[in-house]
Amino acid sequence: MKRKPLSENSILRKILASCRPSPNSGGVSPSIVLGMGDDAALFRPKTGFETILTCDWFLEGTHFLRHKHPPDSVGWKCLARALSDIAAMGGTPRCFLLSLALPGSLTGRWLDAFLVGLRRASRKFQCVLAGGDTTRRDKVLINVTVIGEVKTGRAVLRSGARAGDTLYVSGQLGEAELGLLVLKQSQKPPKARNPLTRRHLYPEPRMALGQWVSDARLVSSMMDLSDGLSSDLTRLCAASGIGARVEMPRIPRVRIPKHALLAGIDSAHLALHGGDDYELLFTVPPHRLHIVPASFQGVPLTPIGKITKRREMVILEHSGRQRQLVAGGWDPFLK
């Protein structure tokens, strides 16, 4: 049975009702003075803190596929990936704005499941919905703006890396890209608990790690890995005006299970150029190296190379051969 699409006001009410903070969460967000329903949202910044602002596209056909990605994964991931930018600054998320365009036919069950995933991420990372904009469109278009906070002067930038610093990554690289390959090849809808696709569908931004790194004044620079190590490291090097020498054998990378469909997939390639991992890439000055633990809350922290004065990115292969590392990750304009 085909139902009439909801009006814009009804959709707003649905979103609002779904993402209202739970009564038990109490003081989750005393900073939101006024949420959805007025011309704009009102946010009361904490004294002694700076506000972090970030926005992220999440578009059907570009960032996800309607027939492959379950709607609750779309809801989770559109917020999680924007939160990752807050983590990369060492900040704490406070609230977000959701801009959502969707077909009238998706304002029922699809929207409900989308909101389940969105609410789960919103509660887990204590980032409340403060406002947004909705409109109709033939494809699902999402833009999420996250507002976070960090103690004044404590934000961790991309531009602070210096020659001699050690380059670290969190987690295992290439897992999300492998998940995408599995998802594309599979005929069946993905299971939420399938470890092969979970990291692609429900990425975990490294909020606690980012905040700890900022509090401990551990690092000289930090960013999140969204487009792939080779592309993102290029940006860190450009922002800091330095180069890097990465040792391939040290890069913690996805394990590819023995599976006919996955034959020929190279884990080194996934780890270097695969997108969507949302791990943190950071540089530690020599005198702080002794503070870095081997893992943080179960997530491994691995030194993968050194920052160099010479402005080029070099990779040392397993064979001992050196070659230039060229950005080969995700660039929507060059794909």
Q: For residues 160 and 218, what is the distance between their CA atoms, to the nearest angstrom? A: 12
Nearer CB in complex with a copy of itself: 121/196 = 121
- Residue pair 231/112 in contact (Cβ under 8 Å)? The answer is no
Coil/strand/helix, residue 161:
coil
Nearer CB in complex with a copy of itself: 38/187 = 38
Nearer CB in complex with a copy of itself: 155/192 = 155
Residues whose CB is less than 8 angstroms from the CB of residue 57 and which lie 6 or more positions away in sequence, other chains included: 63, 142, 143
C-alpha dihedral (41, 44, 45, 51), degrees to nearest 10: 0
- Phi, psi dihedral angles at 87 (to 5 degrees): -55, -40
Query: Which of residues 16, 101, 268, 316 is near a copy of itself by CB under 8 A?
Result: 101
Q: For residues 243 and 225, what is the distance between their CA atoms, to the nearest angstrom? A: 17
Q: Look up residue 219 and give its two tokens.
A: 């690092």
Nearer CB in complex with a copy of itself: 239/256 = 239
C-alpha dihedral (222, 62, 253, 205), degrees to nearest 10: 50
Nearer CB in complex with a copy of itself: 59/113 = 59
Q: For residues 308 and 282, what is the distance between their CA atoms, to the nearest angstrom? A: 14
The position carrying tokens 């997530």 is 299
The position carrying tokens 């983590």 is 87
Residue 37 touching a copy of itself (CB under 8 A): yes
Q: For residues 291 and 214, what is the distance between their CA atoms, to the nearest angstrom? A: 13
Query: Which of residues 5, 108, 303, 328 is near a copy of itself by CB under 8 A?
Result: 5
Residue 53 touching a copy of itself (CB under 8 A): yes
Nearer CB in complex with a copy of itself: 100/292 = 100
Q: How far is the CB of 254 from a copy of itself (least distance, A)?
A: 23
Residue 235 touching a copy of itself (CB under 8 A): yes
The residue count for binding a copy of itself (CB under 8 A) is: 68
Amino acid at 162: R
Query: Which of residues 99, 126, 186, 194 is near a copy of itself by CB under 8 A?
Result: 99
Query: Which of residues 14, 18, 50, 120 is near a copy of itself by CB under 8 A?
Result: 50
Residue 88 touching a copy of itself (CB under 8 A): yes
Query: Which of residues 15, 19, 52, 325 is near a copy of itself by CB under 8 A?
Result: 52
269: phi > 0 → left, psi -120 to 50 → alpha, else beta; which? Answer: alpha
Q: How far is the CB of 45 from a copy of itself (least distance, A)?
A: 4
Residue 194 touching a copy of itself (CB under 8 A): no
Residue 326 touching a copy of itself (CB under 8 A): no
With 0-12 / 13-18 / 19 or more C-beta atoms within 10 angstroms meaning exposed / middle / buried, residue 303 is: middle
Per DSSP, what are the bridge partners of residue 102? 136
Residues 121-160 interacting with a copy of itself (rule: CB under 8 A): 130-137, 141, 143, 145-148, 150, 152, 155, 157-159
Positions touching a copy of itself (CB under 8 A) are 5-9, 11, 33-34, 37-45, 47, 50-57, 59, 62, 85-86, 88-89, 91, 95, 97, 99, 101, 104, 107, 130-137, 141, 143, 145-148, 150, 152, 155, 157-159, 223-224, 235, 239, 331-335
